[in-house]
Structure 1
Amino acid sequence: MEASARALLSLLLGLLLQSSSGAPGASPGLVARITDKGLEYVAKEGLVALQRELRRITLPDFEGDFKINHVGRGRYEFHSLDILSCELRGSALTPLPGQGLSLSISDSFIQVQGRWKARKSFLKLQGSFDLQVKGITISVHLVLGSEPLGRPTVTASSCNSHIRDVDVDMSGGVGWLLNLFHNQIESKFQKILESKICEIVQESVTSDLQPYLQTLPVTAEIDSFAGIDYSLTEAPQATARVLDVMLKAEMFNREHRSPVPFLALVMSLPEEHDRMVYFAISDYVFNTASLVYHEAGYLNFSVTDDVVPETSNIRLTTKSFRSFVPLLYRRYPNMNLELQGRVVSAPALTFSPGNLSLAPQMEIEAFVLLPSSAREPVFQLGVATNVSATLTFNTSRITGFLKPEKVQVKLKESKVGAFNVELLEALLNYYILNNLYPEVNDKLAQGFPLPLLKRIQLHDPVLQIHQDFLFLGTNIQYMRV
Structure 2
Amino acid sequence: MGDLARLLLRSTLLGLLLTSAPGALGANPGLVARITDKGLEYAAREGLLALQRKLQDIKLPEFSGDFRIKHIGRGNYEFHSLQINACELLGATLSPVPGHGLSLAISNSYVRVQGAWKVRKSFLRLKNSFELHVNGITIAVNLLLGSEPSGRATVTTSSCSSHIRDVEVDINGDLGWLLSLFHNQIENKLRRVLEKEICERIKEAVTSDLQPYLQTLPVTAEIDSFVGIDYSLMEPPRATARTLEVMFKGEIFHLSHRSPVDVLVPAMSLPETHSQMVYFAISDYVFNTASMVYHKLGYANFSITDDMIPSDSHIRLTTKSFRAIVPRIAKLYPNMNLELQGSVVSAPVLTLSPENLYMAPQMEIEAFVVLPSSVRELVFRLGVATNVSATLTFNTSKITGSLKPEKLQVELRESKVGGFNVELLEALLNYYLLNNLYPKVNEKLAHGLPLPLLRHIQLHDLALQIHQNFLFLGANIQYMRT
Q: TM-score, normalised by structure 1?
A: 0.93
Q: How does 1:305-454 map to 2 (within 5 A)?
A: 305-454=306-455
How many residues are aligned here? Answer: 460
Aligned to 2:139: 138
Amino acid of the structure 2 residue aligned with 1:466: H
Counterpart for residue 13 of structure 2: none
Query: Cα distance, 1:267 vs. partner?
Result: 0.9
| Deviations 1:139-159, CA, capped at 9 Å, x for gaps | 001100011211111111000
Contact 1:314-1:423 at 8 Å conserved across structures: no
State the shift of 1:326 in Å: 2.9
Deviations 1:116-164 (CA, angstroms, capped at 9, x unpaired): 1222344332221101111111000110001121111111100010111
Contact 1:61 1:81 in 2 (8 A): yes
Give the letter for the 1:260 counterpart: V
C-alpha distance in 2, partners of 1:247/1:103?
Answer: 25
| SS of residue matched to 2:321 | coil
In 2, Cα distance between equivalents of 1:181 and 1:295: 78
User: Partner of 1:177: helix, strand, or coil?
Assistant: helix
Specify whether residues 50 and 400 from structure 1 end up closer, same or farther in structure 2 by C-alpha distance, changes over 3 A only. same
Q: Does the Cα contact within 8 Å between 2:382 and 2:413 map onto a contact in 1?
A: yes
Q: Secondary structure at the match of 2:323?
A: coil
- CA shift, 1:71, in A, is 4.5
C-alpha RMSD over aligned residues: 1.6
The answer as to whether partners of 1:50 and 1:204 remain within 8 angstroms in 2 is no
Task: Tell me, in whole angstroms, the C-alpha distance in 1 between the residues paired with 2:77 and 2:235.
Answer: 55
Deviation at 1:19, TM superposition (A): 7.9
Aligned-partner Cα distance in 1 for 2:306–2:200: 75
Give the match for residue 178 of structure 1: 179
Q: Report the 3-state secondary structure (helix = DSSP H, G, I; strand = E; otherwise coil) of the residue aligned with 2:311.
A: coil
- The within-5 A match list for 1:72-471 is 72-471=73-472
CA pair 311-51 structure 1, distance change in 2 beyond 3 A: same
Question: Partner letter of residue 27 of structure 1?
Answer: N
Superposed CA deviations along residues 391-425 of structure 1, whole A, max 9, x for unmatched, are 11111110001111011000111122222311111
Superposition deviation, residue 355 in structure 1: 1.9
Identify the range of structure 1 (116-125 vs 153-162) with the bigger mean alpha-carbon deviation.
116-125
| Contact 1:166–1:190 (CA under 8 A) maintained in structure 2 | yes
**Letter of the 1:239 counterpart:** T
CA–CA distance in structure 2, aligned partners of residues 175 and 41 of structure 1? 46
The CA deviation at 1:253 is 0.7
Distance of 1:127 and 1:329 partners within structure 2 = 111
Counterpart Cα distance in 1 of 2:229 and 2:324? 50
Once the two structures are TM-superposed, the CA of residue 311 in structure 1 deviates from its matched residue by: 2.7
Q: Distance in 2 between matches of 1:291 and 1:169?
A: 73
Q: Do the aligned residues in 1 keep the contact of 2:63 with 2:186 (CA within 8 Å)?
A: no
SS in 1 for 2:89: strand
Identity of counterpart residues, as a percentage? Answer: 72
Q: Which amino acid aligns with 1:126?
A: K
SS in 2 for 1:294: helix
Q: State the AA in 1 paired with 2:362.
A: Q
Contact 2:263 2:288 in 1 (8 A): no
User: C-alpha distance in 2, partners of 1:323/1:188?
Assistant: 101
Aligned to 2:293, what secondary structure does the other structure show? helix
CA contact (8 A) 1:219 1:228 kept: yes
TM-superposed CA distance for 1:374, in Å, is 1.6
Q: Distance in 2 between matches of 1:426 and 1:181?
A: 95
**Structure 2 match to 1:39:** 40
Partners of 1:94 and 1:413 lie apart in 2 by 66
Q: Distance in 1 between matches of 2:180 and 2:355?
A: 74
8 Å CA contact 1:35–1:241 kept in 2: the answer is yes
C-alpha deviation, 1:70, in angstroms: 5.2
What SS class does the counterpart of residue 260 from structure 2 fall into? Answer: coil
Q: Secondary structure at the match of 1:306?
A: helix
The one-letter code of the counterpart of 2:294 is: Y
Q: Distance in 1 between matches of 2:264 and 2:129?
A: 69
Q: TM-score, normalised by structure 2?
A: 0.93
1:181 CA drift (Å): 4.2
Measure, in 2, the Cα distance between the counterparts of 1:300 and 1:185: 81
Residue 49 of structure 2 aligns to a residue in which SS? helix
Find the aligned partners of 1:95 and 1:334 in 2 and give their Cα distance. Answer: 76
Q: Partner amino acid for 2:406?
A: E
The answer to whether the 8 A contact 1:222-1:448 is kept is yes
Residue of structure 1 in register with 2:19 after alignment: none
- Cα distance between partner residues in 2 of 1:34 and 1:180: 51
Name the aligned partner's letter for residue 233 of structure 1: M
SS state at 1:425 partner: helix
Q: Is the 8 A contact 1:168 1:186 kept in 2?
A: no
Rounded Cα–Cα distance in structure 2 between residues aligned with 1:184 and 1:320: 106
Tell me, yes or no, if the aligned pair for 2:138 and 2:163 is still in contact at 8 Å: yes
Gaps of 5+ in 1: 1-17
Structure 1 pair 474/352, CA: closer, same or farther in 2 (3 Å)? same
Counterpart residue type for residue 457 of structure 1: Q
Shift of 1:74: 3.0
